[in-house]
Amino acid sequence: MIRFLVSAAIAVSVALPAQVLADEVVVYSARNEHLIKPLFDRYTQQTGVEISYITDKEGPLLQRLKAEGKRTPADMLITVDAGNLWHAAESGVLASVDSPVLDANVPANLRDPQKRWFGLSERARTIVYSSERVTPADLSTYEDLADPKWQGRLCLRTSKKVYNQSLVATLIARHGEARAEEIVRGWVANLATAPFSNDTKTMEAVAAGQCDVAIVNTYYFGRLQKKDPSIGLALFWPNQDSSGVHINVSGAGITQHAKHRDAAVKLLEWLSSDEAQHDFAGLNMEYPVNPTVEPAELVAAWGTFKADELNVAEAGRLQADAIRLMDRAGYR
Ligand code: FE
């Protein structure tokens, strides 16, 4: 017993200075473990920097960061949707980062104008249609899905999901509240059935013939396509003559009270680099934010499109307005 304690003490006294010197980064992530762990492992292998992380839903992570305040062990917050990133920034848990590397790797419309968060993958929220009952020539814009010609043919995910709140927020930014409300009322009038709890169920309803068109994130389409290549659904890129396809990001920021700020900034820079971007986006069938990096093969096969150039932060700024508008319009 005594021998054990002695040797343990020696081990500690030897290990301690190294541990203090070695870099470490603590991450709170609302992005799923299987999407971040392979990259963290590679980074640790290359740099020796240890990364510890917890994953949870956005809400609990933000609550935790706020409750921990100065005592938080977290150096970095990773989450999805600019609406959520905006909320985290507004609640004061993220610090500004001045980094020429991030400025170069992340396009200006995919990061916070105040540099408190940076997009790391881009997701497109687009139209999916039944390749059996719809010809692409019938489709044009998100706005057109409010046209009575789609009556009883549209399926949507619930308005409670931040993805749809962000989409409607950009409609407000583009058209103003009155016109945006008209569009959302038109969607509601065209619904084939009550909104679904997730994008996959929404698409499955199209595949099953319950409706003909829907609005979803492309990576969910990719997952279905992988499972069943003959599912009878296809993607359509709307608004190509106007605002472009609605895009959003998953992204990250450095916490206000980071204990390993420099190491965390380096990790964030690496995640935006050529080296990490292909996998960071590719593991979830999303698009790299770094314009020098090609998307994964399956994603590239969906073709190229004109994307909305509005700063994704607008989705956060107008989120509360979007939620009230959807409620008024009867979008549940
Ligand atoms: Fe998602």
pLDDT digits (tens, 9 = 90+) for 69-84: 999 999 999 999 999 9
- pLDDT of 8 higher than 60: no
- Distance between Cα 93 and ligand 1 center (Å): 23
18: confidence class by pLDDT, cuts 50, 70, 90: very low
- Distance between Cα 32 and ligand 1 center (Å): 10
- Distance between Cα 288 and ligand 1 center (Å): 16
- Backbone φ and ψ for 81, nearest 5 degrees, come out as 80, 130
Instruction: Give me the pLDDT at residue 17, please.
Output: 43
pTM: 0.91
- Distance between Cα 66 and ligand 1 center (Å): 24
Higher pLDDT, 211 or 1: 211
- Distance between Cα 237 and ligand 1 center (Å): 19
Q: Is 14 exposed, middle or buried (0-12, 13-18, 19+ CB in 10 A)?
A: exposed
Instruction: Give me the pLDDT at residue 10, please.
Output: 36
22: confidence class by pLDDT, cuts 50, 70, 90: low
- pLDDT of 152 higher than 90: yes
- Distance between Cα 272 and ligand 1 center (Å): 20
- Distance between Cα 71 and ligand 1 center (Å): 30
Q: Amino acid identity of 128?
A: V
- Distance between Cα 122 and ligand 1 center (Å): 11
**Across residues 321-325, what is the average pLDDT?**
98
Higher pLDDT, 15 or 141: 141
Helical segments of the chain, H only:
2-21, 33-47, 58-68, 82-90, 100-105, 162-175, 177-190, 199-207, 218-227, 261-271, 274-282, 297-300, 313-317, 319-328
- Distance between Cα 221 and ligand 1 center (Å): 11
Instruction: Give me the pLDDT at residue 223, please.
Output: 97
Between CA 146 and CA 185 the distance in angstroms is: 7
Q: Amino acid identity of 102?
A: L
- Distance between Cα 70 and ligand 1 center (Å): 30
133: confidence class by pLDDT, cuts 50, 70, 90: very high
- Distance between Cα 248 and ligand 1 center (Å): 11
Between CA 322 and CA 316 the distance in angstroms is: 10
- Distance between Cα 225 and ligand 1 center (Å): 16
Instruction: Give me the pLDDT at residue 20, please.
Output: 44
**Residues 190-242: tens digit of each pLDDT:** 999 999 999 999 999 999 999 999 999 999 999 999 999 999 999 999 999 99
**C-alpha closest to that of 276 among 287, 288, 261:** 288
Between CA 115 and CA 102 the distance in angstroms is: 9
- pLDDT of 4 higher than 80: no
- Distance between Cα 280 and ligand 1 center (Å): 14
284: confidence class by pLDDT, cuts 50, 70, 90: very high
Give every CB contact of residue 195 below 8 A, 6+ residues apart in sequence: 155, 156, 157, 158, 159, 202, 331, 332
Instruction: Give me the pLDDT at residue 122, please.
Output: 98
Give every CB contact of residue 252 below 8 A, 6+ residues apart in sequence: 76, 77, 78, 79, 117, 118, 120, 268, 271
Instruction: Give me the pLDDT at residue 155, please.
Output: 99
7: confidence class by pLDDT, cuts 50, 70, 90: very low
Question: Any idea how long the chain is?
Answer: 332
Q: Amino acid identity of 326?
A: M
- Distance between Cα 9 and ligand 1 center (Å): 47
Instruction: Give me the pLDDT at residue 11, please.
Output: 37
- pLDDT, the chain, mean: 94
Q: Is 39 exposed, middle or buried (0-12, 13-18, 19+ CB in 10 A)?
A: buried
- Distance between Cα 220 and ligand 1 center (Å): 7
Give every CB contact of residue 249 below 8 A, 6+ residues apart in sequence: 80, 81, 82, 85, 110, 119, 120, 121, 122, 123, 289, 312
- pLDDT of 300 higher than 60: yes
Instruction: Give me the pLDDT at residue 138, please.
Output: 97
**Across residues 39-60, what is the average pLDDT?**
98
Instruction: Take residue 194 and report the two structure tokens written for it.
Output: 């009550």
- pLDDT of 104 higher than 80: yes
**C-alpha closest to that of 154 among 197, 186, 198, 200:** 186
Instruction: Give me the pLDDT at residue 299, please.
Output: 97
Between CA 113 and CA 123 the distance in angstroms is: 19
- Distance between Cα 81 and ligand 1 center (Å): 9
